[in-house]
Amino acid sequence: AKRGGHPILKRWAPTLSNLRPSVQLVAALLLYMFHTLVLTQHSLALPVQLIPNERGNFQSIGMDSLAGMATLGAYQYFRRRPSNFYMQSAAAPDGGKTENSVATVDAPHDP
């Protein structure tokens, strides 16, 4: 089984997580300010109104919404998926403490 994560995460995740907490806090505050002051103030106009209405709603999508969608997409793409080993050992009768632990499922009994 292939272990590890995506090459981009292998390179940047340790670098970002090893920064001092004060540097992480400053980076988070700067990103929050960018989100609040820039992304929430701009939108992308859509070529058609998605849901016809008289109020003019659903004619654009905010840049902050697009950034959130991109973040969710990146998370889904880069996230670590559980391997079968961990799923089997968690369901094993002894909690996966021995090397030969295998999860078993009892078949339903006929009365």
Of residues 111 and 25, more confidently modeled: 25
Dihedral of the CA atoms 95, 97, 98, 99 (nearest 10)?
90
Spatial CB neighbours of 96, under 8 Å, sequence gap ≥ 6:
86, 88, 89, 90
pLDDT digits (tens, 9 = 90+) for 35-68: 999 999 999 998 988 888 898 888 999 999 999 9
pTM of the model: 0.56
Confidence of residue 94 (pLDDT cuts 50, 70, 90): low
